[in-house]
Structure 1
Amino acid sequence: MSDMYTLQGPTEWRTNRSVLSYSSLKVLERCPLQWQLERSRYGDFERFPSKPSEATEVGTIVHEVLEVLFKALKEVGFPKRRSPAFREVLKTLKPLTFIEKKLTHLQTTLQNHPRGRGVVIRKTPHEVFRECARLFQEHYQHAELRSLSSQAHRALQKNTTKEQNPRRDRASSLVHRLQRERSLSEVYLEHPNIPICGYVDVIYKEGEEVVIADYKTGKVHDTHKEQVMLYCLLWWS
């Protein structure tokens, strides 16, 4: 048989499952062997390189844009849309230019990816920008409602400490941060007793309620609700 059809097994099998994310749990549920094969070492690769897809790669860019944008707007107290402060943030960040650079870098990365051959990114920068705008508008309206006064914002800047290691966050400190800041992004949560973890896109206060949101750029799927419910469990555990 030709070497072309010879499959190479892992050079080092993954055995430690440590803490599992939602996606890892779904793979384990579907096929434990697949989970192990995907996460084992193959020579220089720490894990089996997954085949890139346009939806996944573009979704990652959308997440990055929203994270950067929300953090910048949070620094100035979540100003009203079309306000001078809001416009200044957009002028500084230049989201469309940011997206164009990310897409250009992505094309280069795919060319060098061991399984990236044939993967084409058809989305234009303006299409990705519109997707970012859609998701942004859905969530920023809540941020506007909880916009901080200038005095409260100065107190926030004074009291907020930069997070060094999300894994060291404890539930109590996260609750205190949420009470103080009203909104958290890219929050790492881990159950104290069960080896389950997750990164939540955004958590914010709406009145006395805590809202946990996860950005999705594809079609609505039942697993989306299941994933957010898991994040809720991690938040309240």
Structure 2
Amino acid sequence: MTDSPGALATGIAFSRAVLVGPPARWSYSTLEEASSCPLRYCLRRATYPDLGHQEGYPSVPSVPALFGNVVHGALEVVVKAMADAAVESPQAESAAEVIRDLGGFTSVVENELANQLASLKDNMRLSKDLHRRIAIDLEARVADARAQVQTYLSRTKFVSGPRHSTQAAEGGRSRAFVRQELGAGSHPEVELVAERERLYGRVDLLMISDDRVDIIDYKTGGESDGHADQLQLYAWLWGADEKVNPRGLGVASLTAAYRDQDVSIDVPNADQMAVLSLEFATKIADADGEIASGSPTARPSQENCRYCAVRHLCASYWATIAPKLSDINQGDLFDYEGVIGEQNGQRSWWLLNDAGRPELLLRTTTPAPPFASGDRVRLLGLRRGADPQTDWPIGSVTVATEAFRVESV
């Protein structure tokens, strides 16, 4: 990273952000994020001195996302081990030996699950109760994760190449990729770099047979138009990487491997490659400018803000996208900004609108919530409720609800 362009006041207590500069290299995902909403990109990667020099703002864990990480991580371990052993087919006896050496599919999945849970240990936005619930949910899906890994693997084709003599690292992962010319064989986790353009990507599986090059990327979520763009960037990067591909071999096929099917992506021709080069150069210049400015633009929208991990720090979200009470159905989760009024009961408080009038009855899980009367707060993840004993709309605190005190607006 380059030197910091300065501090940014977010208006939330203990959340002063010190922005970082543009990265040395961009990936497809980071560039898309910066293009979609520069402010979100910057806030997620800023440092927060009031939070203990926190580098990057932590996200609230999502069980579906964590499950996808478990499947992808376990698949990475298995594919690397099979490539190292020069396995020709997942159905070969040598493949069965690799799985046995790894301790079996279930063991690999459980190791990845443990890695994911360990990564949440110091997440300040995760309560012990929520961490426990996430662990229970994930542990209940071990068999599902194992089945998915086996399904992906059953459709994977390997190319014969030299056997690598390696020692597995902790968690079953094998050799790290070394950036050098690649010969015939199956190559997992290949880092492709275009130094001049400051772009890089990591390919899940790249296979070379004679003069044929095939690229496979495993996708644990649903299909997305962006996946085709990403794979086409990989094809461009393969052509631009003079260290890994000094002979300038072309890509024969691009495949997005989903749980239930493989989708072939068109390999861009020379003219399309030139267009891609220009498009990414423009995106990089725009993103660099936004980040270096010290006042990155917010681009609020339903798509951008729905799952944004830093929306509580964004005044534009609260001014334009945060839902109105009249649009929230019973049982829905919603965000709300208001002032804490008088306490109504042992575990209930009035929330006041900007005119100082009661607007919402807030029900908490404890008589000692992290706020006091007079505080202006932004609440994420309240659940809309109803009570036959009152006509007032009710917002109930859940195990995942977060409260942030507003210092200025």
Same fold, TM-score > 0.5, yes or no: yes
Structure 1 residues 230, 81: closer, same or farther in 2, change over 3 A? closer
Structure 1 residues 103, 31: closer, same or farther in 2, change over 3 A? same
Please tell me whether the aligned partners of residues 96 and 125 of structure 1 are also in contact (alpha carbons under 8 angstroms). Answer: yes
Q: Indicate the SS of the match to 1:77.
A: coil
Question: Partner of 1:14 in structure 2?
Answer: 20
Q: Which consecutive residues of structure 1, in runs of 5 or more, have no partner in the other structure?
A: none
Correspondence for 1:215 among 205, 218, 233: 218
Structure 1 residues 165, 99: closer, same or farther in 2, change over 3 A? closer
Please tell me whether the aligned partners of residues 40 and 46 of structure 1 are also in contact (alpha carbons under 8 angstroms). Answer: yes
How far does the alpha carbon of each residue in 1:186-235 deviate from its partner, in whole angstroms, 9 at most, with x for none?
11111132121111111113564311121101111101111111111111
Please tell me whether the aligned partners of residues 177 and 191 of structure 2 are also in contact (alpha carbons under 8 angstroms). Answer: no
Q: 1:34: Cα distance to partner?
A: 1.5
Alpha-carbon distance in 1 for matches of 2:109, 2:175: 26
Q: Indicate the SS of the match to 1:214.
A: strand
Question: Partner of 2:76 in structure 1?
Answer: 67
Structure 1 residues 75, 163: closer, same or farther in 2, change over 3 A? closer
Structure 2 length-normalised TM: 0.46
Alpha-carbon distance in 2 for matches of 1:187, 1:58: 23
Correspondence for 1:231 among 230, 234, 239: 234
- What are the equivalent positions in structure 2 for 1:195-206 lying under 5 Å apart? 195-205=198-208
Aligned residues: 211
How far does the alpha carbon of each residue in 1:112-167 deviate from its partner, in whole angstroms, 9 at most, with x for none?
4222344736351110011111211222xx21xx335xxxx46x76xxxx97775x
Alpha-carbon distance in 2 for matches of 1:52, 1:211: 34
Question: Partner of 1:88 in structure 2?
Answer: 97
Alpha-carbon distance in 1 for matches of 2:227, 2:154: 20
Q: Indicate the SS of the match to 2:55.
A: coil
Please tell me whether the aligned partners of residues 83 and 187 of structure 2 are also in contact (alpha carbons under 8 angstroms). Answer: no
Question: Partner of 2:116 in structure 1?
Answer: 106
Q: Indicate the SS of the match to 2:22.
A: coil
Q: Which has the higher contact order (CA 8 A, sep 6+)?
A: 1
Question: Partner of 2:57 in structure 1?
Answer: 48
Please tell me whether the aligned partners of residues 10 and 40 of structure 1 are also in contact (alpha carbons under 8 angstroms). Answer: no
Alpha-carbon distance in 1 for matches of 2:15, 2:122: 22
Q: Which consecutive residues of structure 2, in runs of 5 or more, have no partner in the other structure?
A: 1-10, 166-173, 241-409
Please tell me whether the aligned partners of residues 177 and 190 of structure 2 are also in contact (alpha carbons under 8 angstroms). Answer: no
Please tell me whether the aligned partners of residues 10 and 37 of structure 1 are also in contact (alpha carbons under 8 angstroms). Answer: no
Structure 1 residues 188, 76: closer, same or farther in 2, change over 3 A? closer
Alpha-carbon distance in 2 for matches of 1:59, 1:195: 28
Alpha-carbon distance in 2 for matches of 1:227, 1:186: 15
- What are the equivalent positions in structure 2 for 1:148-163 lying under 5 Å apart? 148=161, 153=162
Q: CA RMSD in A?
A: 2.7
The structure carrying a bigger strand percent of its residues is 2
Q: 1:11: Cα distance to partner?
A: 4.5
Structure 1 runs of 4+ aligned residues shifted over 3 Å read 5-11, 79-84, 104-112, 116-119, 162-166
Structure 1 length-normalised TM: 0.76
Please tell me whether the aligned partners of residues 69 and 116 of structure 2 are also in contact (alpha carbons under 8 angstroms). Answer: no
Alpha-carbon distance in 2 for matches of 1:165, 1:42: 33
The structure carrying a bigger helix percent of its residues is 1
